Amino acid sequence: MTSRPLASLAALGLAASLGGCAGYELGPVKPSYLSRVKTIAVPTARSEDLIPRLETLTTNAVIKEMQRDGTYRVVNDGADAVLLITVESATRTATRTVRGNVLLPSEFVLDLRLRYELRANTRTGRVLDGGKVSGQTTLFVSTDLEQDQRQAVPRAAEQAAARLVSQLSEGF
C-alpha cells in the first residue's frame, strides 16, 4: 500500500527536476546554417609544408575526430558536403634552452596551422563554412630531433582536428 504514494512522489520529483531542462536537446546541436548537412566527404588534405606524410596524418586525425564526435557521418560518395583541408604550416619554436647555453634548445612547441572550407556537394559548390584552426604540442629534444618531431606531429594534428570538428559541429 505504501508503494503507490512513493511512486507518485518519485514521479512528481522527476517531473519537477526535468522542468528546468525545457528547451534542451540531447544529441548533436549543429549550427543552423549546416542543418541540412548530414554526411561529409573528407579528401586527403593538401600541405604547404614539407613534412613527410603530413597530409595523411592530418586527414586521418580529422576523420577519427568526426567519427568520435558523431555529428556528421563521413562517407566517400554521395556526401552532402566536402571538407577541403590545407595544412598552412608546421612550425617549431624553441621554448626552453639548456642551462648554461642559451643557443641550445631543450624543448620546442610544434604549432600546426590548418585552413578549411566546407563546400556543398552540388554543381555550384558554394562555401558553407570555413576558417583556420591550429594545434600545438610540446616536444623535448633528445639525440634525434627529426624523430621527436615525427612523434609530435600526430598529437598536434589531433588537437587541430578536435578544434576543426568542434567548429563544424558546434559553431565555435
Q: Identify the pLDDT of residue 47.
A: 96
Does residue 131 contact residue 160 with C-beta atoms inside 8 Å? no
User: Could you give the percent of the chain with pLDDT greater than 90?
Assistant: 63
For the four alpha carbons of 111, 112, 115 and 119, in that order, the dihedral sign comes to negative
Q: Identify the pLDDT of residue 69.
A: 94
Tell the CATH superfamily of the 31-170 domain: Lipoprotein like domain (3.30.160.150)
Q: Identify the pLDDT of residue 6.
A: 72
For the four alpha carbons of 115, 65, 107 and 146, in that order, the dihedral sign comes to negative
- Cα dist. 71→108, 127, 140, 157, 163 in Å? 34, 19, 36, 20, 14
Note the pLDDT tens digit of each residue in 106-123: 999 999 999 999 999 888
Note the pLDDT tens digit of each residue in 145-161: 889 999 999 999 999 99
What average pLDDT does range 89-94 have in this prediction? Answer: 94
| pLDDT for residue 2 is more than 70 | no
| pLDDT for residue 53 is more than 60 | yes
Give the bridge partners for 131, in sequence order: 116
Phi, psi of 10 (to 5 degrees): -65, -40
- Domain residue ranges in the chain: 31-170
